Amino acid sequence: MSVTADIQRLRTELGKLASFSETPAPAVTRVVFGDMDLRARDYLKTLFAEASLVVHEDPVGNTFARWLGRGKSLSPIATGSHCDAIPNAGRFDGTVGVIGGLEAIRALQRSGFEPQRSIDLVMFTAEEPTRFGIGCLGSRLISGALDSSVGDTLTSEGRTLNELRLAAGFSGRLIDVPLSPGAYGAFVELHIEQGPILDREQLDIGVVTAIAAPASLRIIVDGEGGHAGAVMMSDRHDAFLAAAEIALAIEAAARATGSPDTVATTGVCEVFPGAINSIPSQARLDVDVRDVDLRCRDAVLAAITAACDGVEGRRGVTVRLEPINADPPARCASPIVNAITTACETRGLRHRTMVSRAYHDSLFMSRIAPTGMIFIPCRDGISHRPDEYASPEAIGRGTEVLADTLAALAG
């Protein structure tokens, strides 16, 4: 069986999908349930229908396109990713896994392969946290990591998730979204690496063995405001300086684990009242901590708590920690890792095992199915920017490895 991806078609379809954007090229902005998101979905569903896939959508807009297999009683195999994009993003994050997944199925169809198990291509809703402040919304709901109450509690610009999904044409009850464990025999996601390793080492494929998971928290520091000229330094309880000390302690805690897979980011710092001649009375930090090793990640969280206690005592401020989420990391299933590795070796592709420091819908699909990921290089490791780039040849190679992997799992 010879499986070959149509590289020109991949390039054309990714370019067309990128045209559905709220910002001009080369940037891509596609916020879930917005006009451009709905137009992109319509375009993808047209492509699915052309490939003779059976399409259905769940109440939150997760889209399933099925290539029917001969074994009707066997659990299907799945692949897929997302097509929403953060503001001012690139054209390859998520979309390579959707368009590449479709082309993998088409390549198998062209080769004459007949799957024993059905193969689903899944386009997940809202992998990005842009609209509702939480990533992987669709896959979280599919896996049961979120319950249906989020329909009324998650909001965007004063409208609830339920209101927005209904306005976008996705009806039904969120309680019907979750799939039971075993609903899929395997799930494999193709994705750009979003890091520099493959590009730096001039490798074709990354075989993912584990997916890091974030713990996110908000730290609110309350100090004492005052006039910047009138309050002496010895009398100050500056909320921002206390927060700055905490931020540096967060960096030190991540470095102290000794693991290159531990990362911590203080991505938001808001200062009140924000005037040049006013001592900050309050500061807010939003913090992201990740590792594939839960013990290392939780050690950093404990160190952050200790640092906050110390700063509180030394600087005479009040510090509150508010957890946002703490998801467990995932290990990729050995049979899928082996199938991806075999596909690389058969095709003579340069590859290596690696962890995913970014998290993806695969993190949550691993709760209901054996899961694996295939990474392809992106230039200089750049992602979430307009200059994000993966070559057509790299996308083609990843698509062919995905097709081989799907054939091994579904045949």
pLDDT in tens, 288-327: 999 999 999 999 999 999 999 999 999 999 999 999 889 9
Residue 165 lies in a domain: yes
The verdict on 284 and 159 lying in the same domain is: no
How much of the chain is in helix, strand and coil states, percent to nearest 5?
35, 25, 35
pLDDT (0 to 100) of residue 325: 87
Q: For residues 344 and 247, give the distance between their C-alpha atoms in angstroms, rounded to a whole number.
A: 42
pTM metric for this prediction? 0.91
What is the total residue count of the chain? 411
Region of residue 19 (left: phi > 0; alpha: psi -120 to 50; beta: else) = alpha
* CATH assignment of the domain containing 351: 3.40.630.10
Map tokens 């190679």 to a residue: 397
The verdict on 405 and 377 lying in the same domain is: yes
The Cβ of residue 211 has, within 10 Å, a number of other Cβ atoms equal to 26
Residue 1 lies in a domain: no
**pLDDT tens digit sequence for 179-202:** 999 999 999 999 999 999 999 999
The verdict on 144 and 281 lying in the same domain is: no
**pLDDT tens digit sequence for 67-97:** 999 998 999 999 999 999 999 999 999 999 9
pLDDT (0 to 100) of residue 214: 86
pLDDT (0 to 100) of residue 49: 98
Q: Give the chain's domain count.
A: 2
Q: Which residues pair with 374 in a beta bridge?
A: 190, 207
- Tokens coding 379: 């230039």
Q: Which of 308, 326, 344 is the last residue of a domain?
A: 326
Q: Which of 274, 309, 326 is the last residue of a domain?
A: 326
Residue 2 lies in a domain: no
The verdict on 248 and 366 lying in the same domain is: no
The verdict on 82 and 29 lying in the same domain is: yes
Q: For residues 360 and 193, give the distance between their C-alpha atoms in angstroms, rounded to a whole number.
A: 11
Q: For residues 349 and 336, give the distance between their C-alpha atoms in angstroms, rounded to a whole number.
A: 17
Q: For residues 53 and 46, give the distance between their C-alpha atoms in angstroms, rounded to a whole number.
A: 10
pLDDT (0 to 100) of residue 133: 87
The verdict on 252 and 204 lying in the same domain is: no
pLDDT (0 to 100) of residue 146: 95
Q: Which of 294, 326, 358 is the last residue of a domain?
A: 326
Residue 355 lies in a domain: yes
The verdict on 180 and 245 lying in the same domain is: no
Residue 314 lies in a domain: yes
- Tokens coding 72: 């009707």
The verdict on 313 and 336 lying in the same domain is: no
Please tell me whether residue 287 adopts helix, strand or coil conformation: strand
Residue 375 lies in a domain: yes
Residue 91 lies in a domain: yes
* CATH assignment of the domain containing 306: 3.30.70.360
Full residue range of the structural domain in which residue 241 is found: 213-326
Give the C-alpha distances (Å, rounded to integers) separating 339 from 70, 181, 285, 349: 21, 22, 43, 14
The verdict on 197 and 337 lying in the same domain is: yes
Residue 40 lies in a domain: yes
Q: Which residues pair with 318 in a beta bridge?
A: 222
The verdict on 345 and 393 lying in the same domain is: yes
Helix H or strand E segment including 267? strand 263-272
The verdict on 44 and 148 lying in the same domain is: yes
The verdict on 310 and 178 lying in the same domain is: no
Strands (E) in 327-366, as ranges, are 330-331, 351-356
Low-confidence ranges of the chain (pLDDT < 50): none
Among 95, 87, 106, which Cα is nearest to 40's? 95
